[in-house]
Amino acid sequence: MSRGTSYLFNMIRTPIEVQMHMPVVKTYEQFVNEFPERTNINIVGIRPLRGVGCWIIDPGVVYIAVDNMFGGEGRIAPRLGMREYTQTEMRIIRRLVDAFLGDYEKSWKPIHEIKFDFMRQETNFGFAKITSPGEMVLHSKFTIDINGRKGDVDLCIPFWVLEPVKAILYNNMQGFQAEPDEHWSSLLNDQVHEAKVTAVAVLARSKCY
């Protein structure tokens, strides 16, 4: 995604840099506790996988994008998080989400074709339970730099949703180095590492029987 920002660029029409941080495996409860009580949560389906994930866009990214799209310099609005989004801002958030989905789908394409389907927006995690609190999730954080101003975008996918494609992720790692992408490789390495641990555990149980 660090290189595949064409959708986002076409929307904002200004140079954009996206840094992907090392994905972290944690419980869904730990993920939720990292955000304020009122948070913009975008629920998405993940085809052909079962289950849903969520994208969370930092208010800073929203206000930077809004200001830039209306001719400003991308300044962050004061008192972030102290008011509700306007209808215009909500529409722009939806467009931002669509842009992120398009770019993330492109990042997955060399490995496995997936499609994100926007489902709904929530502002409270109580209405956005994508999995149970104790379930493990994969938390990917992206830092968006627009004209020198930065904000974060977070993606959360329950780990059980990724189970069907773990083998595909591992098999494609061998040939993926022909077109290296440091940040995407970090994501793959993290997922593959978890996949191997799971595989060994299952084999061990089968031998015991």
* Span 139-151, pLDDT tens digits: 999 998 877 788 8
Q: Which of the four pLDDT bands, split at 50, 70 and 90, describes residue 199?
A: very low
**pLDDT score, position 118:** 94
Q: Give the pLDDT mean for 105-132.
A: 89
DSSP structure string for 63-109:
HHHHHHHTTS--PPPSSTTSSPPPHHHHHHHHHHHHHHHHHHHHHHT
- CATH number of the domain residue 147 falls in: 3.40.1550.10
| Residue 195 domain-assigned (yes or no) | no
| Residue 21 domain-assigned (yes or no) | yes
Mean pLDDT of the residues in the chain: 76
* Domain extent for 107: 6-161
pLDDT at residue 190 tops 80: no
pLDDT at residue 157 tops 70: yes
SS3 205: helix
The answer to whether 64 and 77 have CB atoms below 8 angstroms apart is no
Segment (H or E) for 169: helix 166-176
Q: Mention every residue, 6+ apart, whose C-beta is less than 8 A from residue 67.
A: 73, 74, 75, 77
| Residue 180 domain-assigned (yes or no) | no
Question: What is the number of domains present in the chain?
Answer: 1
| Residue 185 domain-assigned (yes or no) | no
| Residue 134 domain-assigned (yes or no) | yes
SS3 40: coil
| Residue 31 domain-assigned (yes or no) | yes
Q: Please report where in the chains the tokens 């939720």 appear, as a residue.
A: 32
| Residue 46 domain-assigned (yes or no) | yes
pLDDT at residue 21 tops 50: yes
| Residue 203 domain-assigned (yes or no) | no
Amino acid identity of residue 27, one-letter, is T
59 vs 132, which has greater pLDDT? 132
